Every structure is written in C-alpha cells, then in structure tokens.
Structure 1
Amino acid sequence: MADPLSEVISLLRPHAPHSKLTEGSGAFSVRREDVEEVFYCMQLSGRVRLEVDGKPPLDLNAGDFVLIPAASGFTVSSIDPPSPPGLRTRPVLGENGVFRIGRPDGPVEVQQLIGYCSFGSPDADLLVSLLPDIVVVGGDDRLAALADLVREEARADRPAGDVVVEHLLQVLLIEAFRSTTRSGATSGLLRGLVDPRIGPALRAVHAAPHHPWTVAELAGTAGLSRSAFFTRFNRIVGEPPFSYLLNWRMTLAKHMLRTGRHDISDVSTNVGYGSTSAFSTAFARHVGYSPSRYMKVASAG
C-alpha cells in the first residue's frame, strides 16, 4: 500500500537553508510580521510562549518542536519572567554567532533553534494545504537527538557545516511530520492518515491514482456508507474525496510533465484518464493552460 506522506514530502522537496541559535535571559518579546516562509522552532531549553496571529497561544517547553507552514505574523515571548505589555525585543548577534534576546549579560535561561524553510515544488501551496496549519510535537526523543546534532553542527566550525545542518534540518522536518501522524493532527492529510476509516481510502487513492474510483468503492475501503464516508472525509481532510483525488492527480501530472520523461499520453493513463483529450481538457481547466503549454513553460523555467 502506498505511503501518502512520503509521496507528499518527496514532491514538496523541503529545504532548511536558514537557521540560527537564540539564547534568552530575563523578559523578552520578539515580534515577526509579514512572514512569507515556513517557520520552525526547536525549544532546546527553558520555556517560551508562541503566539501565532489568529491562533491560541502555545507554551513551548524544552524538547518541543513547532512548524508553521503558513503564518502572517507571530510573537515569541518569555514566560519566566513574563514579558510586560508592549515590550519589543530586538535580537543581538553575538561574537559567537548566537543571537541574544533579553538581558545581554544574564545567565542563559532559554535556548532555541529557529529558522525558516522552503519547499522546492512549484505545487507547494497545494501540497502544504494537505498539512496542518501548525505542527506541534512535544518531547519526542528522536527530535531531541536530531536537534542536538543540529545545534552541535551549527556551532562548530567544520568543512561543509552549512550543508550538514541543512540536511539534518530536512530530516528534522520529516520526523516532525512523522511524529504528528503518530500523535494525531488538527486537520488535513496527516489527520486523515491516522483515522481508521479515512486512512485506508487515502492509501488506496495514492496506491492507484489511475483507478476509476467511485464514491462507493472508496466508502467500501473505509467500511462506511457513501454519505457517511463523504461527510467524514470532508471533515477530516478538509475537502471532498473527489476534490482531493483531482488535486492529487493534477499534482502528479504536473510533476511528470516537468520531468520531461513522459509524453502526454503516458501521463494521461497514469493519472486515470481514458483519453488524452479528456486529460487535456481537465488539466487545462485545473491549471489554466494545456499540458503541452505547461511542459514548455516548465522547461523554460
């Protein structure tokens, strides 16, 4: 049976080129606005409060990892002691390459690894929409071990250190997604994968996207009536079953067309269309232009 999460991550092609160590002391409150990249934070020691715009505040403890695929703005502030209202702290880069927040000369009470990552796929917006709007993993030993490796490598002056850090961070991101599938998720594909009814249907779709699926067949894999399956799928994944199927087929089609290793007829067959003309019509309606045009644009880019 297919592993949908592996497929999504492979197509996303996550990169983590920007990371930094931050140490805090005393009261602080750091604000970030107009965030356009994917933000992550590994709490290495101490406690902080993360307030993402439009969401309830989160208290992060040592060993917690948070990933926010899409956020317009957020604030990270101290808990012990609490930051006073209106405080805005500017991180200061130290000689050791570590950013300092709060008191410049006090003992280190908080340490974080924070940064931004990006996704290499042109379909990142669609794929990210399948993930929760915030991923929080608490006290996971594997994540903590990875974070220790990242912290050690980030602070050491070794050849190709930046490359090693980026690859470790990619593994850290993947482990966060995997941990979320084990512990549950708020919405999207991850929640669907751990649901005992919807999970089998998602895996069936990913195992055979070319199959002419019907609602009755998918409902059968879930052991539900058609109406119950439709309602449950929509609630858990965040979109109707055939909307998900269409989006996934078109994501696969665009990936195959970009590689240049498949002609349009092969792509049509592999994503479940009985004729090239039917596929071309559906693709143009979904993407905005024909498969042949898409191939030319992709090769030029």
Structure 2
Amino acid sequence: MVGDQLSEVFDLVEVRGLLSGGFAIRGPWVSRAAVDISLKFIAVVCGRARLVTDGIDGIDGPIELAAGDVAILNGRSWLELRGGTGDGPPREVTPEENDPATRLVGIDWDTDDVILGGHVDLNPAGRALLLQALPPVAHIRTAANLRGTLHRLFEEVSTDRIGSAFAIRQYGQLLLLEVLRAYVEQTPLPSGWLRALTDDRLRPALTLMHTEPGRPWRLDELAQAATMSRTSFAERFRTVAGMPPLTYLNHWRMLLAQRALRDGDVRVGSLAADLGYASESAFSTAFKREVGESPLRYRHRLRAESGHLDAVRGNGSQVTRPLR
C-alpha cells in the first residue's frame, strides 16, 4: 500500500511538522520575515492571505491563500503575507509581538484572519528526500481532512487545556501528513521518491525492494513483478523516480542503515549482511559514499548530537513561541 510505504519513509527520515507561531487579526495587515529554515509552512485557519516570496514575486505572484489552505516554502529566503480589508495603512504584525489585538481570543470567524506558521523538521536523509520532492512553493488547497486538522490544532493552541503541548505536537504531525496527502492528490508530482510511491505500475517492484532490501534483486525480476519488459520498466522507473531501479534500492538500503545505526546497537558486519552486502568493507564503502562518513563515525556523531538536542528541547515542547 502507498500509505504504508509513505509511513515507512516518514519513520526512516524522522519527518516532523512543528508549530512555531501565528496570529489573529482584523483589518488591513502585513507580515514580513526572513526564512532561515529549509521547509517552512504557512496555514490559513480562517480568512484569507496573499503570499509573496523569492522566486514567485512579480509575474507569478502573489499566491492567494483561502481558509484551509497551506503553503510550504522550499528553500526560500524571505516571505511577505498581506490580508484584511478596510481603510488605513496595513498594520505590521509578527507572530511574536505582544499586541492584544493579535491574541487568539475572541476570534470573529467571519471577519478575522488567523494564520499559523511552522516548519518541517528533518534529519539529513529526510532533507534530501523532501526538498527534492517539493517545488519552491507548494500551494495545497483546502481539503476536508486538512481543514479539520487545522481547526483541531488551532483549538489546542488557543486554549490552555491540560496536555496541550503534547496535542500540538501530534496535530503538527497530522497536519504535515494531510498536507502531503492533499499535495499528491492535487498536483502533478516531479520525478522523485514521492511520485514513485504513488505510481501504480511501479508499486509491485517497490514493495519487493522495501520488504526484502537485502535480496540481490536483478532488473529482470523487478520488471517481471511490475509486468513490464526490462527496457520499459527501466525507462519508466528512471522517469518517475528520477534514478535507475538499482540506484533507488541502494538509497533505500542506506536509509535503513542510517536508522539502524541511529536507533540500535547492531554490529556493522551484521547490518551489512542484512542489507545484502558481501562484506563489511563493501558496505562501509557504500555508506561513506552515500552519507559522507563511515558507519561508526555516523553512529557516534548522531548519538552525541542526540544528547545535545535532548538538553535543548528539555520538556519536549515543539512550540518555540506562544501564539499571540
């Protein structure tokens, strides 16, 4: 199933949607900010907003965001949001300002604009996969599940209920999942792993590679599973996934290896055998070529970084700023 494979990829690359700020306001307004993260998302809970960012301004912009819409900015350096109606100059607003007019209390759902912002947290493997799978700006238009998740997230953010920090983290995850589901349904996908996971013709071959990654798969075996000729299968796979089948298999093995080294104490030799390498040396060479460092160095570095992140995150809350 595509959903199961997508879930597996999410687990492997530790994709997390994290809420970081937001505001509610009525009347003309503008919000400008520098973007210093790879993947940032803007969600419109109610009202409307017009988004401009580098790469879409001028003839291609602005992007009109309606209630329930989400925009994901991929590798952008700045953004500007505008909204509201009425006389007078627009008010400058940021998610962090302590202005009573922007607090999420006494919201008028007919007149107010409510904006939530956040980012997608990724490990290096996830960054390589998701940045490649998304365009510079992905505009996801309102869908029933997406709107419902947005409203539940807003409810947790705007009330001081017990367990709200935990709920916000979970809804942030669900929001990202619903965004990607809607994106897959609404938009022609570029070549890459996300498009490959949704391709019905390739699904049987992908399932084999995902479930038995240590088997020495041959191109003709994978083509037979997809009920295609060897040539047709190879051409379609390269077009859809952006790489040959056996290159994809190697990338998949390296993702599995990174998870095993990150989360467990498996011996490198045993891991090499499980993933189909003839020797520990062959596996280590492939891993270093893909990841940039040896398996043992990778494990030691990530464990050192994990201890630092645990200290930074403290209580585990993912909301870095309270919403005003």
Q: Which runs of 5+ in 1 are unaligned?
A: 100-106
Tell me by how many angstroms 1:263 deviates: 0.9
Q: What amino acid maps onto 1:155 in structure 2?
A: S
1:282 aligns to 2:286 (yes or no): yes
Gaps of 5+ in 2: 105-109, 306-324
Q: Which of 117, 123, 126 is the equivalent residue of 2:125?
A: 123
Cα offsets for 1:205-226 (capped at 9, x unmatched) = 2122112123333333333333
CA contact (8 A) 1:47 1:59 kept: yes
Determine the structure 2 residue equivalent to 1:75: 80
Give the alignment partner of residue 110 of structure 1, picking from 108, 113, 123. 113
Aligned to 2:177: 174
* Most deviating of 249-258 and 10-19: 10-19
Aligned letter for 1:77? R
In 2: Cα distance, 1:96 partner to 1:16 partner: 27
Structure 2: distance between partners of 1:75 and 1:116: 16
In structure 2, what is the equivalent of residue 186 of structure 1?
189
Matched, 1:215 2:216: no
Do 1:28 and 1:77's aligned partners in 2 also have CA atoms closer than 8 Å? Answer: yes
1:140 equivalent in structure 2: 143
Q: How does 1:1-301 map to 2 (within 5 A)?
A: 3-55=4-56, 56-57=60-61, 58-78=63-83, 89-91=92-94, 92-95=97-100, 98=103, 108-119=111-122, 121-129=123-131, 131-133=133-135, 134-187=137-190, 188-301=192-305
1:38 to 1:235, Cα distance in 2 relative to 1, 3 A:
same
Per the TM alignment, residue 151 of structure 1 is displaced from its structure 2 partner at its CA by 0.9
AA aligned to 2:65 is: L
CA distance in 2, matches of 1:111, 1:76: 12
Aligned to 1:102: none
Change (3 A) 1:223 1:21: same
Q: 1:72 to 1:180 in 2, by over 3 A?
A: same
Q: Distance in 1 between matches of 2:179 and 2:265?
A: 32
Identity of aligned residues (%): 31
1:260/1:295 contact within 8 Å kept: no
Change in CA separation of 1:38 and 1:225 when aligned onto 2, cut-off 3 Å: same
* Counterpart secondary structure, 2:213: coil
Residue 63 to residue 10, structure 1, CA distance change in 2 (3 Å): same
**Residues 263, 54 of structure 1: CA spacing in aligned structure 2 closer, same or farther, 3 A cutoff?**
same
Rounded Cα–Cα distance in structure 1 between residues aligned with 2:15 and 2:29: 31
Task: Call closer, same or farther: CA 1:190–1:184 in 2, change over 3 Å.
Answer: farther
Measured in 1, the distance between the counterparts of 2:245 and 2:55 equals 28
How far residue 293 of structure 1 moved from its aligned partner, in angstroms, is 3.2
Aligned length: 291
- Code of the residue aligned with 1:177 in structure 2: it is L
- The 2-side partners of 1:33 and 1:179 are apart by 27
Q: Give, as a single letter, the amino acid of the residue that structure 2 aligns with 1:31.
A: R
* Native 8 Å contact 1:24 1:111 kept in 2: yes
Deviation at 1:50, TM superposition (A): 2.4
Contact 2:28 2:91 in 1 (8 A): no
Residue 6 of structure 1 deviates from its aligned partner by: 0.7
Query: What SS class does the counterpart of residue 68 from structure 1 fall into?
Result: strand
**Secondary structure of 1:230 counterpart:** helix
Say which SS state the counterpart of residue 211 (structure 1) adopts.
coil
Once the two structures are TM-superposed, the CA of residue 267 in structure 1 deviates from its matched residue by 1.1
CA contact (8 A) 1:234 1:240 kept: yes
Counterparts of 1:46 and 1:65, CA distance in 2: 13
AA in 2 matched with 1:19: S
Q: Which has the higher contact order (CA 8 A, sep 6+)?
A: 2
Change (3 A) 1:162 1:220: same
TM-score normalised by length of structure 2: 0.76
Distance 1:266 1:274 in 2: 11
- Is residue 129–residue 193 contact of structure 2 (8 Å, CA) maintained in 1? no
